[in-house]
Structure 1
Amino acid sequence: MNKTARIKKNYHLIKYRKLAVVSLLIGFLSAFLAISLKRLTEHYEEIFFHKASINWFLMIVFPVFGLSVIYFLRHYLFQKKENKGIKEIFDTTAQRKNSLPIYKIPSHFINGLITVVFGGSTGIEVSTVIASATIGSVAQEKDNLFNRHKTDLICAGVAAGITALFFSPFAGILFAWEVISKKITKTFLFSCTIAVAISLGFIYLLDEKPLFAVKITGWHLHAIPYFILLGIIAGMNSVYLTKCVLLFKRHFSKIKKHRNRIIIGSIILSSSLLLLPQLYGEGYHEIKENILLSNDLTLTVSLAISFIAIIIFKPIATSATLAAGGDGGVFAPSIFIGGFIGLLLAICLNTFFGANVIPLNFMILGMGAMLSASIHAPFTAIFLTCGLINDYSLFIPIFIVCIVAKYTAKMIYPHTVYTYAAATK
């Protein structure tokens, strides 16, 4: 081996050793952050939602208070910079000189927590993604050797954070690839695999449980046409969600005074919560209740009106939350809406057509289909949905609905909330 070859070999050896160490740290910190935010949000959301359920006026007070606190924190603590969601990562990875400042970690952590706890109709997933991406970005700045691998380290943080939230290492890596990186390199796989492995170990160490506890009894081949129908309906609804969010953001951006944005957003959000308390926060509490009842529900006029209202008003409440300054994205709303679409469709099919489908299965499939269509990332949605229940029995049906939903949505409207923002920079 000549001298040049030895130098090159040593350089690669040193690089991968350093990447291994920094990926390990990124994985640990991202998982710790994600699980901390998840547990804090679950704990305080339950308390505040219970208080609001027995004191209706708190459905009005909480959104105003939460959005106001976020504004003042941003104004006095977080350099007067608005959180722009996934677009912040795109801006950072687009140019080598750009980076995510370290204050983005507490900014998204605190604002994401406050948004959901005080009734904001979104979730902590995007807050977690940006905060964990920032961990990767900050780590990249600590050594010149990592300059060429900024995107890989950011993706390592994102993959670890998603893994910790959704109990699915495949979903973490696939989301980093489908949404953030758009390409797979050796260093991408190396960094993400180490970070996700550490995150997975952290999950088992803390004995984290899947988000939804369900018992799947199997599925039937005769239901495949209904799976396709569910995918089409979910794809259409995802376009409604996307356009709703974009419309609210566009109109609210024309309102110059933040005070007026908060007031208008709070009025819309509070009205939605008074009408449908199920829209409070992430809404996972409502999904869990319906999972328990799903196979025993029968179609009534009140049930149909309630479910249809939830499907229509959740995008409006989510859009008002985000446009008024709340922190979050479309992850949790997509899962929430998809669950109700799937359950309503299954009950209707059984009632009017004697389809003999399993409502619980359709709830799970609806979650995956809606998420796939909303973010145009079907493979992320497939494994994330399996991670939600820690069960791969429905893998083939989930695959079908996620693919159908994604391409249905894309045919109707080519953009997601993420890609529209990136395309209009």
Structure 2
Amino acid sequence: MNNTTKIKKNYRFIKVQKLVIVSILIGFLSAFLGVILKNTTEYYEEIFFHKTVVNPIFLVVFPVFGLSIIYFLREYVFKKKENKGIKEVFESTNSPSNNLPSYKIPSHFINGLLTVVFGGSTGIEVSTVVASATIGSVAQRKQNVFRQYKTELICAGVAAGITALFSSPIAGLLFSLEVISRKVTRAFILTNLIAVSIAFGLLHLLDEKPLFAVHNMTWHLRAIPYFILLGIIAGINSVYLTRCVLFFKAQFSKIKVHYYKIIFGSVILSVSLFVFPQLYGEGYHAIKTIFINPNGMVLSLSMVLTFIGILVLKPIVTSATLASGGDGGVFAPSLFIGAFLGLLLALILNQYFNANVIPINFVIIGMAAVLSASIHAPFTALFLVCGLTNDYTLFLPILVVCLISKYTAKLIYPFTVYSYSPSLAK
């Protein structure tokens, strides 16, 4: 072996070593950030939501107060630099010169927390994704050897962040692949596998529990036609969510005085929360209530009207939250819509068509189906929901329904809130 070959071999070895070390750091920091944001949000959201139950006047105060603080922070602390959500990550991975600045870490962390805690009807997932992607982006700028692995290291941060939120390393890997990178390289496999392994290890050390606990799951072949129906309806609902978000953002962008946006958004939020408190924040508290005993629920007219109202209003209040300056995305809203849609469909099928389906199955599959259709990532949705429930009994029906819902949505409207741009829509 000549000297040139030895030098090249040593250089490759050193480069791999450095990639391993930086992937470990990215995985730990991104997961730690995700766990802190998740637990802090859950803790304070519960406290603030309880205050609105005791004194409903807070349903008026909290939204306008939260959106005003976020506006103040963006205007004076973060120097009028707007948060574009996951589109920022796309712009960074698609351009060698466009990097995610380090201020995105505290900006998305704080704004995402404030949005949800004060009643904004969205989730912290996108805030976590952008903040953790920024960790990867900052890391790749530290040494020249990492420049060519910009996308891989950003994806490693994203994958670790998603793993921390949903207790599913496979969902983290698949989200960074299906939504962000869309290509597999050896460096992608190395960096992302290490990052999600570190993230999942941290979850075990901290004894983080799945968000929704389910037991004694089973399903029957006779339910397949009803699962297919759920997939089609979920695809239609996801398009409604996507179009709502895009419409509200387009309309609110025409308002030149930002505080008018805050007032309009707060009015929509406050009125909706007065009618349906389930819409407050991420909505996971409402999903947990229907997880208690969905199989024992009996359909009534008031329940049907409540569920329909929630399904109609959720995309509107989510859109108003985001368009008026809130920080978040469609992850939590999709899971929320899917849970209520699935339960409503199951109860209707049982009461009026003697279908004898298992409602909790429809809750879980509905969550995955709407998420799959909303972000066009069926495999991410599959493993994410299985991770949320820590149960893989419904793996096959979830996979089928996720594919059906995705392609139903694409057939109706080819864009997601991440992929849409005015130039593409023309």
User: Please, what TM-score do these two structures have when normalized by structure 2?
Assistant: 0.98
Rounded to whole Å, the distance in 2 between the matches of 1:378 and 1:406 is 7
Q: Secondary structure at the match of 2:419?
A: helix
Post-superposition offset of 1:54? 1.5
In structure 2, give the amino acid aligned to 1:367: M
CA distance in 2, matches of 1:423, 1:330: 22
Q: Name the structure 1 match of 2:214.
A: 214
Matches of 2:421 and 2:199, distance apart in 1 = 30
Secondary structure of 1:209's aligned partner: coil
CA distance in 2: counterparts of 1:36 and 1:152, whole angstroms: 24
Aligned to 1:155: 155
Q: Which residue number in structure 1 is paired with residue 331 of structure 2?
A: 331
Q: Please name the residue that 1:225 is paired with.
A: 225
- Structure 1 window deviating more from structure 2 (382-391 vs 4-13): it is 4-13
**Counterpart check, 1:420 vs 2:415:** no
SS of 1:418's equivalent in the other structure is: coil
The residue correspondences of 1:74-153 to structure 2 (distance < 5 A) are 74-153=74-153
Q: Given the alignment of the two structures, is residue 370 of structure 1 paired with residue 370 of structure 2, yes or no?
A: yes
2:244 matched residue in structure 1: 244
How far did residue 424 of structure 1 move? 5.2
Deviation at 1:5, TM superposition (A): 2.8
Q: In structure 2, how many angstroms separate the alpha carbons of the residues matched to 1:99 and 1:11?
A: 26
Kindly indicate whether residue 411 of structure 2 is the aligned counterpart of residue 411 of structure 1. yes
CA contact (8 A) 1:28 1:199 kept: yes
Deviation at 1:7, TM superposition (A): 2.5
- Post-superposition shift, 1:293? 2.4
Deviation string 1:255-300 (CA, Å, 9 cap, x unpaired) is 1111111011111111111111100000000100111121111111
In 1: Cα distance, 2:305 partner to 2:151 partner: 46
User: What is the CA-CA distance between 1:97 and the residue it aligns to?
Assistant: 1.1
Is 1:344 matched with 2:344?
Answer: yes
Q: Which amino acid aligns with 1:116?
A: V
Q: Distance in 1 between matches of 2:266 and 2:356?
A: 42
One-letter amino acid of the structure 2 residue matched with residue 166 of structure 1: F
CA distance in 2: counterparts of 1:339 and 1:6, whole angstroms: 58
Residue 214 of structure 1 deviates from its aligned partner by: 1.1
Segments of 5+ residues of structure 2 without an aligned counterpart are none
Distance of 2:154 and 2:216 partners within structure 1: 35
Query: Structure 1 pair 388/421, CA: closer, same or farther in 2 (3 Å)?
Result: farther
Provide structure 1 residue ranges, at least 5 long, that are not aligned to the other structure: none
Which stretch of the first structure deviates more once superposed, 204-213 or 289-298?
A: 289-298
Q: Given residue 104 of structure 1, which amino acid in structure 2 is its aligned partner?
A: K
CA–CA distance in 1 between the matches of 2:136 and 2:393? Answer: 34
Q: Compute the displacement of 1:99 (Å).
A: 0.7
The aligned counterpart of 2:353 is 353
The answer to whether structure 1 residue 184 and structure 2 residue 189 are counterparts is no
Give the distance between the partners of 2:368 and 2:14, measured in 1 at CA: 41
CA–CA distance in structure 1, aligned partners of residues 178 and 297 of structure 2: 37
- Structure 1 residues 180 and 423: CA distance shift in structure 2, 3 A: farther
In structure 1, C-alpha distance between the alignment counterparts of 2:283 and 2:192, rounded to whole Å: 30
Distance 1:172 1:259, change over 3 A: same
> 1:149–1:423: structure 2 CA closer, same or farther, 3 Å change rule?
farther
CA distance in 1, matches of 2:217, 2:242: 33
- Distance in 2 between residues matched to 1:122 and 1:259, nearest whole Å: 20
**Mapping of residues 7-22 of structure 1, within 5 Å:** 7-22=7-22
Q: Secondary structure at the match of 1:234?
A: helix
> Helix, strand or coil: the match of 1:207?
coil
In the alignment, which residue of structure 1 is the partner of 2:50? 50
Q: Structure 1, residues 197-233: CA drift from partner, whole Å, max 9, x if none?
A: 0000000000000010111421001001111100000
| Cα distance in 2 for residues equivalent to 1:87 and 1:326 | 15
CA RMSD across the alignment: 1.1
How far, CA to CA, are the matches of 1:410 and 1:94 in structure 2? 23
CA distance in 1, matches of 2:30, 2:298: 43
- Structure 1 window deviating more from structure 2 (340-349 vs 6-15): it is 6-15
Aligned to 1:30: 30
Q: How far 1:98 sits from its partner (Å)?
A: 1.1
Letter in 1 for 2:3: K
- The Cα shift of 1:328 comes to 0.1
Aligned residue runs from structure 1 range 368-407, under 5 A: 368-407=368-407
What secondary structure does 1:256 align onto? coil
Give 1:8 shift.
2.3
Q: Indicate if the aligned counterparts of 1:149 and 1:187 stay in contact, CA closer than 8 A.
A: yes
Deviations 1:290-334 (A, max 9, x none): 111211111110000000100000000000000000000000000
Alpha-carbon separation, structure 2, partners of 1:256 and 1:216: 54
Separation of aligned partners in 2, 1:157 and 1:324: 28
Aligned length: 425
Structure 2 residue identity aligned to 1:303: M
TM-score normalized with structure 1 length: 0.99
**Which residue is equivalent to 1:199?**
199
Deviation at 1:422, TM superposition (A): 8.9
1:307 paired with 2:307, answer yes
Large movers: runs of 4+ above 3 Å: 421-425
Residue 167 of structure 2 is matched in structure 1 by 167
